[in-house]
Amino acid sequence: MNVPSLTMDTSCVMSLLNLPEDSTPKNEIKALENLYQWNLDETIKISISEKTRTETINNLSRAKQVDSQNSKRIEKWLKTLEILNSYESIKGRWILGISRLGVDTVLGSEGEKDQWERMSDVLFGKTPSNLHEGDAFDLAILFEHYVQKNDYFVTRDTKNNMLKKKLDLKKIWNIKVTNPIEIVAILEKTL
């Protein structure tokens, strides 16, 4: 059976934790919980970038060190590891002249480099080498989604250009960018 495949952005993984300092609206948390459960039930397949996995664990490790006596924080940390382990991992692409070493990657082709640069231009109006670190991170995760050919890219990050440029991404690369509430509504119609 062919199930819908999603790439989950880091913002969604972190919001699913529902940490006290997080300001994610309750309806988005509920949507993320639905997606997580559907993934466990194998109704959908969720993938995350190896970069997302690494960033999430690093963030939680720092939080655990700061607040090591807080049992609720430790429970959240353990729940995160459980969530991350339930999602398929997407290998990063290492592209000559653009990528940095340090995360598990696969060597990208010259054609992928061209698409990477074009995607950077469409999203940010800049070459990849001129991006701020956060934008470069977002571009890498979206590009990995594109190479993986998952059905939907799910993000709740309104500060990046993915949601703003979703029509361009759909037209040029057939990348369907959505937020958690929208994807749950779409999937409820088809599951």
What local confidence, expressed as pLDDT, does residue 104 receive? Answer: 47
The DSSP 8-state label assigned to residue 91 in this structure reads P
Question: What are the pLDDT tens digits along the chain (191 aa)?
Answer: 689 999 999 888 888 776 666 788 989 999 999 999 999 899 999 998 877 777 777 766 666 666 566 666 566 666 766 777 777 777 665 554 555 555 445 545 667 778 888 988 999 998 877 888 788 888 888 888 998 899 999 999 877 788 999 999 999 999 999 999 999 999 999 98
What local confidence, expressed as pLDDT, does residue 64 receive? Answer: 61
Which residue carries 């999603």 as its tokens?
Answer: 6
Structural domains counted in the chain: 1
Q: What's 184's domain CATH number?
A: 3.40.50.1010
Provide the whole-model pTM. Answer: 0.81
Q: Rounded CA gap, 55 and 61, in Å?
A: 10
Which residue carries 């972190």 as its tokens?
Answer: 14
What local confidence, expressed as pLDDT, does residue 84 receive? Answer: 74
The token pair that represents 129 in the structure block: 């080498």
Q: Rounded CA gap, 170 and 162, in Å?
A: 11
Range of the domain at 44: 5-190
Strand partners, 93: 106
Question: For residue 185, which phi and psi values (nearest 5 degrees)?
Answer: -60, -40
The token pair that represents 150 in the structure block: 């998952």
